[in-house]
Structure 1
Amino acid sequence: MTELMGYQAREDWMGREVLTLADVWPDEPRAMIVGLNPAPSSVDAGHYYQGQVGQGQLRKLAAAGLFQAPSGRYFEGAALAAGVGFTDIVKRPSRGEGDVGADEIRFGSGQLADNLQSRGVQLIVCVFRHPVKVLLGTEGVPGMQAKRTSWGARVFRMPGPFDKRENVERVMSELSAHLDSGE
């Protein structure tokens, strides 16, 4: 077996071993960034969100004040220093949402909610729409969701990576205001 690097992990996923990204949990989670599943390029690098779109989304989160922007491509260290971690619903890497089955989302969603609740996560940042639907039963719209999780956590859905700048600024200012409120 090859040596693992970065946050790579071998995990059992629905009865099959997959090379994936390990969950990154801060000691005292202030927030968790939740994605649908890791991209193969991210797993290959051993770090979350290594594609151009993912990098752009994480830079938006840094600009909103969720954590300090790192000098390079790897965000885990800066996020952990701010009490922010990373996880995905589905552990099997794939190129896109079309490659992820409903059975995998169902399987991963129960594990996700249990892990977030047991660790007392009070802010969940969803880079894309799928985790919002898993956690709240609806995709909602970009921004802070009115509905909370079953354990009372707030859920923030990021704007799409190609959304208009004025929409991105408006939505990301909601996250900044929430972070400034100390809630």
Structure 2
Amino acid sequence: MDKRYPSSDEVYALTKAEARARAYAALRAAKAARFPFPIEGRIPNFAGAEAAARRLRELPAYQAARAVKVNPDAPQLPVRAMVLEDGKTLYMPSPRLRGAFLRIRPQDVPPGQARRAASLSHCREYGEEISVAQLAEIIKEGAEGAGDGPAAPDGAPPAIGLVVAGSAAVTRSGARAGKGEGYADMEYAILRELGLPHVPVVTTVHPAQIVDEFPLDAHDLPLDYIVTPEEIIVTGTPHPKPEGIAWDLVTDEDLQAMPVLAELRRLQWERLTVRDVLAPGLDVLFVGINPGRASASAGHHFAGPGNHFWRLLHEAGFTPRRLAPAEEQVLLEYGIGITNIVRRASRGEDDLSWEELTAGGARLRELVRRHRPRVVALLGKNVYRAYAGLKKTADVAWGRQPGAVVDGVIDFVAPNPSPRSTIPYERRLALFRELRSL
């Protein structure tokens, strides 16, 4: 994966794994490690976590925040309790993002119970689960608890004003290594996807966890402040924060393991696209018009309920069995690929302008020249018109087209496999079989 820093002629002192190992060893050598044990493979608890939390209280960014998002790990329990004691709203992600975010409001915590309310064992007694959609509304309003009320005035603090992330190892330049599973990075990226502006990111650590420089990956979350029991370090970090989810790196397994991601994808479907199934020298490259809502939400081509594409492929003899949309990469084994002439998702073809289609046609011609499939199967007459540079009203027949848009590549036009198509299924199947016979 691409690294942000340093430039190609620089060398880091440590890898990220070495940074974690060094911090764990230094904590043990300082006899500063605290329960739970072993500390390896987790955000380590440390002696002085309470003092570091109190030091955090001195930070102006903390003082200004009305709501704070804090990781659920043991060393940040004093921070979570302090947030509630100070009359601020606490947001906690569920461990490993298996569930929704939890919101605990200070008015719901009786005096003297902040630490209990902030603990993983009891937090659900005091808080409420906030769905991604609800969190999006809170962020949109720009004020904690605004609900259905008016939007916050310009210049109002963001709905979540500070992010506290747990760390295994850090550097004075703001590089941060967690336990290696990327949850803090993902949590911040989710907030960005929902419209939260960039806000300060801080961690509380033992001084032994401050190590020599190590590299960050493109999706890693850097730190603006490092707080120890003795000092507040202003990192002046040169590392940019994530702008959102790197959807290209999100797998089906991730979506299953982290339902909050699946919910976010459904919520953000109009901003998403679907990755091409593509390789050089394919036998047939199918070209749809653009991803629909179901496909964008699922991250797979032709994923809408009732879409006939996968059935047509099988019954026409392209595949030995009917594949599911999630198996789309298997098509490459049969010399088949999929792309779309317009990459953005929409509710339907009517939401696309002809200018978008013609721009997509130019992109598609270049893609075909580069990958050289034997046949381009264009699913819809407008898809072919845009690809061929024809007028929107040009007459187009189904089947193999005369000539070739790209020299040496056969052009074939078949109906859109959508269940809303007015072309009878048997006619569509006959055209797919004709395509198969080429």
Q: Report the TM range for the smaller structure's normalisation.
A: 0.7 to 0.9
Query: Tell me, what secondary structure is at the counterpart of 1:69?
Result: coil
The one of 365, 387, 390 equivalent to 1:135 is: 387
Instruction: Give the counterpart letter for 2:410 in structure 1.
Output: R
Aligned residue pairs, count: 167
| 2:299 matches 1:39 | no
Query: Tell me, what secondary structure is at the counterpart of 1:126?
Result: strand
Distance 1:141 1:74, change over 3 A: farther
| 2:347 matches 1:79 | no
What RMSD, in angstroms, separates the aligned Cα atoms of the two structures?
Answer: 2.4
1:48 is displaced (CA, Å) by: 0.4
Query: Tell me, what secondary structure is at the counterpart of 1:87?
Result: strand
Map of 1:144 onto structure 2: 400
1:87 is displaced (CA, Å) by: 0.8
Contact 1:5 1:46 in 2 (8 A): no
Contact 1:69 1:78 in 2 (8 A): no
Q: Which runs of 5+ in 2 are unaligned?
A: 1-188, 190-244, 253-269
Distance 1:72 1:109, change over 3 A: closer
Query: Tell me, what secondary structure is at the counterpart of 2:273?
Result: strand
Larger RCO, structures 1/2 (Cα 8 Å, 6+ apart): 1
* Residue range with higher mean Cα deviation, 112-121 or 161-170: 161-170
Q: Deviations over 1:104-150 (max 9, x none)?
A: 11222111110111111220112222221122335622222233223
Q: Take 1:65 and 1:131, find their aligned partners in 2: how far apart are those partners?
A: 24
Q: Take 2:425 and 2:341, find their aligned partners in 1: how far apart are those partners?
A: 28
Q: Take 1:38 and 1:166, find their aligned partners in 2: how far apart are those partners?
A: 24
* Residue range with higher mean Cα deviation, 102-111 or 85-94: 102-111
Instruction: Give the counterpart letter for 2:436 in structure 1.
Output: S
Map of 1:157 onto structure 2: 413
Contact 1:142 1:157 in 2 (8 A): yes
The one of 15, 23, 32 equivalent to 2:276 is: 23
Distance 1:118 1:71, change over 3 A: closer
1:66 is displaced (CA, Å) by: 2.5
Contact 2:283 2:336 in 1 (8 A): yes
Contact 2:310 2:323 in 1 (8 A): no
Instruction: Give the counterpart letter for 1:153 in structure 2.
Output: V
Instruction: Give the counterpart letter for 2:427 in structure 1.
Output: N
Distance 1:73 1:118, change over 3 A: closer
Query: Tell me, what secondary structure is at the counterpart of 1:52?
Result: coil
The one of 342, 356, 359 equivalent to 1:90 is: 342
Identity of aligned residues (%): 25
The one of 60, 66, 80 equivalent to 2:312 is: 60
Alignment of 1:171-182 (within 5 A): 171-178=431-438
TM-score of the superposed pair, with normalisation by structure 1 = 0.78
Q: Which runs of 5+ in 1 are unaligned?
A: 7-16, 179-183
Query: Tell me, what secondary structure is at the counterpart of 2:397?
Result: coil
TM-score of the superposed pair, with normalisation by structure 2 = 0.35
Query: Tell me, what secondary structure is at the counterpart of 2:347?
Result: coil
Query: Tell me, what secondary structure is at the counterpart of 1:21?
Result: coil
Distance 1:62 1:155, change over 3 A: farther
Distance 1:112 1:124, change over 3 A: same
